[in-house]
């Protein structure tokens, strides 16, 4: 553990307490970097599309699934307004519970505007500047098509 490393550094090497503290901070920093890399790998390999945006509504993070869903590269997504992608996205006050909603994702930069039905769970974020919120997004087009087919079938039966 970190304290064991720090103690052995002090006792075994004749290192001062200040040097030990500096080494402990370095170990903490390496742990943080490793944790960030693990989390980034998990998020990027998730099949669930994920976007995060800042206080101005600009997308600041997007995983691979979000790029596939929007048909935009990560570079194209970054800086795009979340409200361009989701014009109907409700604004959440900080501290609210995640909000699952069905929305339409506007697929930007297409010759013909396309809208894709999606389920979105939005969570506000505090204490992690510049992030203000993130969303998990699921393509619901198959479900909507099935619902429409059932409705059409029921209408024909009636």
- The pLDDT, as a whole number, for residue 1 is 46
Please state, in angstroms and rounded to a whole number, the distance separating the CA atoms of residues 12 and 14. 6
pLDDT tens digits, residue range 48-102? 999 999 989 999 999 999 999 999 999 999 999 999 999 998 776 556 667 678 8
pLDDT tens digits, residue range 24-56? 767 676 777 777 777 777 777 788 999 999 989
List all residues 6 or more positions away from 123 whose beta carbon is below 8 Å from its beta carbon.
98, 99, 133, 134, 135
Helix (H/G/I), strand (E/B), else coil: 44: helix
- The pLDDT, as a whole number, for residue 60 is 94
């Amino acid at each position: 553990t970190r304290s064991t490393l720090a103690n052995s550094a002090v006792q075994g090497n004749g290192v001062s307490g200040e040097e030990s503290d500096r080494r402990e901070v370095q170990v903490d920093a390496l742990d943080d970097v490793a944790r960030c890399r693990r989390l980034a790998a998990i998020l990027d390999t998730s099949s669930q599309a994920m976007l995060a945006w800042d206080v101005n509504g600009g997308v600041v993070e997007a995983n691979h699934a979000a790029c596939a869903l929007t048909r935009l590269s990560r570079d194209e997504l970054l800086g795009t307004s979340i409200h361009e992608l989701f014009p109907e996205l409700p604004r959440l006050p900080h501290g609210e519970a995640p909000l699952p909603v069905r929305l339409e994702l506007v697929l930007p930069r297409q010759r013909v505007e396309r809208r894709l039905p999606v389920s979105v769970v939005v969570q506000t974020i505090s204490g992690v500047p510049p992030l203000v919120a993130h969303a998990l997004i699921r393509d619901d087009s198959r479900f909507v098509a099935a619902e429409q087919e059932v409705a059409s079938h029921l209408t024909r039966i009636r």
